[in-house]
Structure 1
Amino acid sequence: MAGRVARTGQRGLGGYPCPMQGRASNFANVLSLLGAFVATAMVMGLLAAGLVIPAVGATGSAAKSGVQAFDSLPGEFTTSPLAQQSKIYDARGGLITTPYDENRIIVPLKAISKTMQNAQIAIEDSRFREHGGVDPRGITRALVSNFKGGDTQGASTLTQQYVKITLQENALRNNDKAAAQAATAKTYTRKLQELKYAITLEKQLTKDQILEGYLNLVYYGDQAYGVEAAAQHYFSTSAAKLTLSQSALLAGLVQQPSRTDPIHNPERAQVRRNVVLDRMHELGMVTDKEWKAAKAIPVKKMLKVKPAQNTCGRSTQPYFCEYILAYLKQLPALGKSVPERIKKINQGGLTIQTTLDPKVQAMAQAQVEKKVPVGNSERIGAAASIIEPGTGKVLAMVQASRFPTTGQKGKKYTQVNWNVDQKYGGTSGAQFGSTAKMFAIVTALENGIPVNGKIPSKYATPKQAAIYTPSEMKGKCGAGSAWPVRNDEAIGGKPLPFSLATQKSVNTAFASLVLKLGTNKVHDTMNKMGLHQGTGKEIECYPAAVTLGANDTTPLTLASSYATLAAEGKYCTPNPILSITTNDKKPIKLPTDNCKQVISKDVANGATKLLEGVIQKGTGTQAKLAGGRPAAGKTGTTDNHVESWFVGYTPQLAGAVWVGTPYSQKRMKNIRLGNDFYPEVFGGTISAPIWKQLMDRASQILDKPKRDFDEASSKVLEGDIIGIPSVSGMSVQDATKALEGAGFKAQVAGNTYSNMSAGTVVYTNPSGRAVRGTTVGLYVSTGYVPAPPQPTSTPKATSSPKPTKTTTKPKTTKTPPPKKKTG
């Protein structure tokens, strides 16, 4: 950026740079000035535009050849759109950042104060309104002043300056360094071309159009390009409100913006400002009173510097700022390649409104820091993301750390965004523990296991592991060695109600379930619900990763996956953009296909039913929302209490809270955070209470009414219950065929005394109706009924023969009609 300061440096005769020494100190300088004047005068004498100046030493054939040379130069002058800053806002209109290559804000001439217009004309080109692009009187005046040893004066008109700087700007925007150097080269050819372009430009544009372009183009020092950016930077005001003293100060910067920078060189700036005020007074642009009053104000007291917000370190939301800029660089709507998109972001003057709600953001930051103070001695970190189900809008993104702005280091500073993937400035993520069980729940419901059904479970305790052998882990997501699984309490050894296994987060129940379903099937569910590692890769396909979250992901990713259930099966990729408009107020078309129905509404509502139980009477009771607001979610705690999670949702909001160890693998046991002491940190003890506060308060801020989830169908709640065909009297082979044809499995369960032919089926258990896919037990006839035993001394009552094996018929319950949404 510093290399561009030289665009509008001090100018001498004919626009050439020369030192600010006040006098031509030797004969060589005088000859140089005279030579420049003679050459320029010769050309001026040859122009067909009606401009007259003595052609010293140019006669006859020399004049003729000069005319031919001048006529052969290109005359068409074109300008490219100026590079200007873009602005990124939050959802309520607050400024987040202003990315730019050049800090420029283009405004129309009517939005620039008249005093500013007059000040620039007075010091740069007082005859601007009179000449036709080239000023013979100005050249003569500059020559005489320089020749006599007076103040060095420039002869370039404001129009010529505009041409030169525009040529350089166009070249720089096209990354053409050679053309940029040629635009300011100290050659007569370059000067002749500039003169011709200036005359052409005066025929194409009005004086006001040229002045407007100039005031938006020139460099005013300290990375401020154009008068509007300069007014905001130095005085925290707009170009329309610039006072006389402020206008004179800015106008005086153009010749030597670095040397007279008022922030770093206030004394020189004041001297230069007064030169401008004197010139304005001399030209009659200001009264004696105005002139004296403006000069009496010290420059230091004039300044009200507004730091540029072109870097995320200076942003009000630095982590989200980094995320949004990375997101924009990958947005096809801004260009076909990353360099093209960066150019549009930094030079295109875009207005970008994001989805970030500043009120929700501020609340979330406060709540996270309340539980996990920034820079705590335990070196524990925390992060949380809140999104809107059904749209993917990112409403908040916070973490318990500080963004370094000037190279700060230490336990409270990090530039890494713990909420997002690596490609957005984040990390590979953290192990997500039992929050992974949600994906097994969805897969089970899709495969006919009902909400009110049972799932298998091996017995295990915190110390005694259940062992799953490689033979039990068949398939493409199997494991090559035994897999030990422990529970947080002594439980298992028999089928458990699905709801109980979910509420208590029974590891062996879900391990058995995943292996029964097929690890690859649950892995496929993760993929379609958007779950992936922070590296961008899929979750690794092995039982521990798929079942118990022994792999890494990020809060934003996990919140988006769970939001799929809140949106009744519709997964939406996270979306931080509301709108983008160009510098001429035209909207840029954004993609509308970031949402897709990936699971059925019925299955989503069934999963919600199970996850509601986690909050109502399971491991997540500390996430229970105020006023009985319906909510569903899941806790997660990794081995050795290194990471803890709570991820959940209401019908309108979804959020993920992570509390963990970003700097080490320290166990979160016997630690103190804020005012609380934790013997052991679980997802339910720290992440769940934070999540509760976020959801309660965000719902209030966003005015979300209390609303119920939709009920799942009886098919998902109880299973696909269908009639069992009567197979009494059939052979085992025929009965099996009939049952399988009806959607059941069949196996011989035992024999029973019967007069029916031996080997024929007498009855089944269950009978009547059962869930599709149920294994139906066949009880086969022995072919006879034994005679009752003869009575002895005391007759005894006899009983009918019992089957060799019996089963208990499943109970069925009526399912209430689905509830309607409220609010």
Structure 2
Amino acid sequence: MQGRAQNLSAVLRLLAGFAVLSVIAGLLAAGIAIPAVGAMGTAAKGGVAAFNDLPSDFEINPLAQQSVIYDAAGGTIANPYDENRIIVPLAKISPWMQKAQIAIEDSRFYQHGGLDLRGFTRALVSNFSGGDVQGASTLTQQYVKITLQENALRSGDKEAAQAATAKNYMRKLQELKYAMNVEQNFTKDQILAGYLNLVYYGDQAYGVEAASQNYYGIPASDLDLGQAALLAGIVQQPTKFNPVLNPENAQQRRDLVLTRMEELKVATPEEVAAAKAVDVTSMLHKKEAKGVCHRSSEPYFCAYVMAWLEKSPQMAVLGATPAERLKNINQGGLKIRTTLNPTMQSIAVQRVTEAVPIGNDQNLGGAATVIEPGTGKVLAMAQSSDFNTTQVVWNADFQYGGARYGWQFGSTAKAYALVTALERGMPLNSEIYAPQASPTKPYAFTKDQVIDDCGMDKPWEVENDYSVGGEMSLQKATSQSINTAFAALTLSLGGCSVRDTMTKMGLHSSDGQPIEGVISAITLGAGTTTPMTIASSYATLAARGVYCEPFPITSITTPDDKPIAIPQPPCSQVIPPEVADGVNQLLEGPLKDGTAAGSWNWSRPAAGKTGTTNDHNQSWFVGYTPQLSTAVWIGNVIPADEQTRRAYTLNGKCFGIYRCQGNVFGGTIAAPVWGKIMAQASEGMPVVDFTNPSPTVVNGEQVTIPRVAGMTQAQAIETLRAAGFTGYVRGQVSSSVRRGLVAGTNPSGKAVKGSAVGIMISSGPAPAPAPDPEAPPAEPPPTAAGGGTGNGNGNSNGNGNGNGHGNGNGPGIPPPSGLTVG
């Protein structure tokens, strides 16, 4: 009896299903509401009422599709996406593909109105009788189902996504009603194009264009019969029929599609036989699936641009948060045009990698960035490493994919002391004093020489690259990169003042923080930065004082070519043009007759500065013409041993075409690489001269230092402050001035207004020399011709500037060099 009851229940459900079907099937295609007629049973009435209550307006939202990142010449750099999808019109989809998909999924697609009665009847009979829930959906129904799921997933509604594919007859009824709406509002070709661009073809390929590119490396317009049949067969079960994972299953499914096409007479027996004779595995020309930038022709620039689009404040036009921006980039089908010049990029990559080969086993790295002065455009960005091995962008800041801190930048820091000095009014042809030092005998600067908060914790020992010291021109100190000269200059200017110059010219560490506030970091580049940052900073000089943040984007448009308004690169005048002109003249020296001599052919004006760090573990050259600014870094990727913290050296290592080198400086490898990049990148550009420095910059703006001899230390410092100088105690000196009082200043006479002036404290007169017993008796001094005031002309043999009574030529005390004696 129990078995009979179960059978009776199944029969009743089946009859109810037929009652619903008889009305729905008869009226659905006509597009009218279904009345709950009295002759129908309760179940039928309930089903019809439910159907009438279902929504009917179906909204088709734009599909998520991959964006495209282009270089400045229109070449494709990368295709960022969440779903690998490329939207194409039906005209760009092979007719074979259209026929194959229709043949295996919905052979009467062009005849029905959205409902296949035979298939729908079979599905309802199975579902109402308690069997497996069946689909037998038309292409239109499938299009509706997948669109609902896609829209739900994009909006983050997981419940709606599950409901879109739920296995129950109410979902099928809703699908049917939506399908009716779609058929009423769209043509068959529009529906087919939407379907072919929407469905999943396995292997992370969404839509037929992405699938064709993924499996065969060709556009969908070029698909032949066999290729089309293989793709069309995947849709039913994308994993089971994936030709990469399951080639045997895929081949059986492809042949089934081909057979069906022959039965429907959309392909001839000869065409089908030829297509079946080809093995599936031989059809595939697939590249290994990797991340977006792994597939890029310029992976490091791709990684930088993706991070910049996501995190740069200028890209708020793409979304309020980084996550929102990334979603729009990956799903929006945007056309993103960048500043990357493919010719310059090729040059930079060639020149960097021929000096530092990719995959070398010496811990060597090389990187170069080319910036356009006055715009901040990133024109090239080369790196000597394999993206599969490291994804760190050596050129860029940490937030844009770079190393956390960057690398020490050595004597390239000296340019900022020059800017600060000329801003203060120091003459271009100044003489400055360099304490004597050599590689083995450093000069120790002390804490009492520090005039602001950017100083030292202990005596600072500074070496020169060769034994040198004494008075020298500012030009020589720059050309020869004399460390002690710039250490003394920076201390006199104030380390914090020089660091402020660095900051306003855009120089910072890779983590975005200002250069460390200690005198060694500010003066000799013991701080860290990146090639892109310092290339942009030096571009300020090329642009006559205008600093522009690095900017890699020129335009962004929507899939229908509507421009998205993006802000212009942020630029501002940060140093006076005439100061930049003066520094440009000084920085021509290293290339003409200094530390980078021979690196430039002088076909056009150029300026720049070498940089070498302690132990020769990093080397730089940063230089520019009025049109291009380029930084080249060559050094140790890992700068020091983690256990001993001892820096690795470049000395003795081998550098590609430059061979093995004993001692490596900024001018050894980095400068020649820079010269080759810049010479080739500048080809075809007009020759532009730097602007000559103004007379004001050449002659400087100096003011008289007040006389402070005989004052107390506090009085002297206050007097200097009132005159616009910063006073500090520089040391002691023998003097006729009473011990403990101020003997004079260094410098004396005149100095740049606002600069630091050292006061010298008197230690009293120098002791008289012991008499020589073998010397003849001294003759008595001549008697003065008369009384009164004698004004002697002092000199170094003892004739001092005596303002005294009696003898005008008394035994004077010679003043220290540069002192103003009271």
Shorter-normalised TM-score: what interval? 0.7 to 0.9
Q: State whether structure 2 residue 668 is matched by structure 1 residue 685.
A: yes
Task: Write out aligned runs for 1:631-646 (5 A).
Answer: 631-646=606-621
Q: Who is 1:157 aligned against?
A: 138
Cα distance in 1 for residues equivalent to 2:508 and 2:480: 26
1:612 Cα shift? 0.2
Secondary structure of the structure 2 residue equivalent to 1:481: coil
Secondary structure of the structure 2 residue equivalent to 1:621: coil
User: Which residue of 367, 386, 394 maps to 1:418?
Assistant: 394
CA deviation map 1:92-113 (0-9, x unaligned) = 2332221111111111122223
Cα distance in 1 for residues equivalent to 2:175 and 2:725: 90
Task: Write out aligned runs for 1:364-763 (5 A).
Answer: 364-404=348-388, 413-427=389-403, 428-492=405-469, 494-623=470-599, 625-663=600-638, 664=640, 665-674=647-656, 676-700=659-683, 703-720=684-701
Q: Who is 2:189 aligned against?
A: 208
Question: CA 1:584/1:660 → structure 2, altered by over 3 Å: closer, same or farther?
Answer: same
Letter in 1 for 2:411: S
Q: State whether structure 2 residue 96 is matched by structure 1 residue 115.
A: yes
Cα distance in 2 for residues equivalent to 1:365 and 1:685: 19
Cα distance in 1 for residues equivalent to 2:687 and 2:90: 52
Mapped contact 2:369–2:631 kept (Cα < 8 A): yes
Secondary structure of the structure 2 residue equivalent to 1:459: strand
1:479 Cα shift? 3.1
Cα distance in 2 for residues equivalent to 1:676 and 1:295: 58
Mapped contact 1:622–1:692 kept (Cα < 8 A): no
Mapped contact 1:715–1:721 kept (Cα < 8 A): no
1:606 Cα shift? 0.7
1:613 Cα shift? 0.7
Q: Who is 2:643 aligned against?
A: none
Mapped contact 2:19–2:40 kept (Cα < 8 A): no
Mapped contact 1:378–1:673 kept (Cα < 8 A): no
User: Which residue of 327, 342, 345 maps to 1:358?
Assistant: 342
Letter in 2 for 1:475: D
Q: Who is 1:332 aligned against?
A: 316
Question: CA 1:241/1:673 → structure 2, altered by over 3 Å: closer, same or farther?
Answer: closer
Q: State whether structure 2 residue 220 is matched by structure 1 residue 254.
A: no
Mapped contact 2:451–2:492 kept (Cα < 8 A): no
Mapped contact 2:364–2:635 kept (Cα < 8 A): yes
Task: Write out aligned runs for 1:214-229 (5 A).
Answer: 214-229=195-210
CA deviation map 1:431-450 (0-9, x unaligned) = 11111010010011100002
Mapped contact 2:617–2:648 kept (Cα < 8 A): yes
Secondary structure of the structure 2 residue equivalent to 1:671: coil
1:51 Cα shift? 8.3
Mapped contact 2:20–2:44 kept (Cα < 8 A): no
1:530 Cα shift? 0.5
Secondary structure of the structure 2 residue equivalent to 1:496: strand
Q: Who is 1:821 aligned against?
A: none
Cα distance in 2 for residues equivalent to 1:191 and 1:355: 51
Cα distance in 2 for residues equivalent to 1:32 and 1:373: 79
Q: Who is 2:77 aligned against?
A: 96
Letter in 1 for 2:427: P
Q: Who is 1:63 aligned against?
A: 44
Letter in 1 for 2:237: Q
Secondary structure of the structure 1 residue equivalent to 2:436: coil
Letter in 2 for 1:559: A
1:383 Cα shift? 1.5
Cα distance in 2 for residues equivalent to 1:522 and 1:598: 14
Q: Who is 2:793 aligned against?
A: 802
Question: CA 1:471/1:241 → structure 2, altered by over 3 Å: closer, same or farther?
Answer: same
Letter in 2 for 1:634: K
Q: State whether structure 2 residue 349 is matched by structure 1 residue 349.
A: no
Cα distance in 2 for residues equivalent to 1:770 and 1:540: 28
1:309 Cα shift? 6.6
1:678 Cα shift? 1.7
Cα distance in 2 for residues equivalent to 1:32 and 1:371: 84
1:49 Cα shift? 4.3
1:603 Cα shift? 0.8
Letter in 1 for 2:325: R
Q: Unpaired runs of 5+ in structure 2?
A: 1-6, 641-646, 706-719, 727-746, 758-781, 795-799, 802-813
User: Which residue of 44, 47, 51 maps to 2:24?
Assistant: 44
Question: CA 1:773/1:642 → structure 2, altered by over 3 Å: closer, same or farther?
Answer: closer
Q: Who is 2:773 aligned against?
A: none
Q: State whether structure 2 residue 115 is matched by structure 1 residue 134.
A: yes
Question: CA 1:649/1:62 → structure 2, altered by over 3 Å: closer, same or farther?
Answer: same
User: Which residue of 101, 106, 110 maps to 1:125?
Assistant: 106
Question: CA 1:744/1:440 → structure 2, altered by over 3 Å: closer, same or farther?
Answer: closer
Cα distance in 1 for residues equivalent to 2:71 and 2:662: 40
Query: Percent identity at matched positions?
Result: 55
Cα distance in 2 for residues equivalent to 1:297 and 1:417: 44
Cα distance in 1 for residues equivalent to 2:704 and 2:468: 34
Letter in 2 for 1:521: S
1:773 Cα shift? 8.6
Q: Output the TM-score relative to the length of structure 1.
A: 0.80
CA deviation map 1:380-429 (0-9, x unaligned) = 2222111211111112222222122xxxxxxxx42222211111221111
Cα distance in 2 for residues equivalent to 1:500 and 1:155: 87
1:771 Cα shift? 8.2
Question: CA 1:35/1:430 → structure 2, altered by over 3 Å: closer, same or farther?
Answer: farther
Cα distance in 2 for residues equivalent to 1:630 and 1:116: 60
Mapped contact 2:17–2:128 kept (Cα < 8 A): no
**How many pairs does the alignment contain?**
718
1:164 Cα shift? 0.6
Cα distance in 2 for residues equivalent to 1:122 and 1:34: 31
Cα distance in 1 for residues equivalent to 2:119 and 2:669: 76
Cα distance in 1 for residues equivalent to 2:60 and 2:263: 34
1:646 Cα shift? 0.9
Cα distance in 1 for residues equivalent to 2:497 and 2:20: 82
Cα distance in 2 for residues equivalent to 1:306 and 1:489: 55
1:766 Cα shift? 12
CA deviation map 1:557-580 (0-9, x unaligned) = 111111111111111111111221
Letter in 2 for 1:190: R
Mapped contact 1:614–1:620 kept (Cα < 8 A): yes
Q: Who is 1:185 aligned against?
A: 166
Q: State whether structure 2 residue 268 is matched by structure 1 residue 279.
A: no
Secondary structure of the structure 1 residue equivalent to 2:555: strand
Cα distance in 2 for residues equivalent to 1:68 and 1:46: 16
Q: Output the TM-score relative to the length of structure 2.
A: 0.80
1:241 Cα shift? 2.5
Q: Who is 1:4 aligned against?
A: none
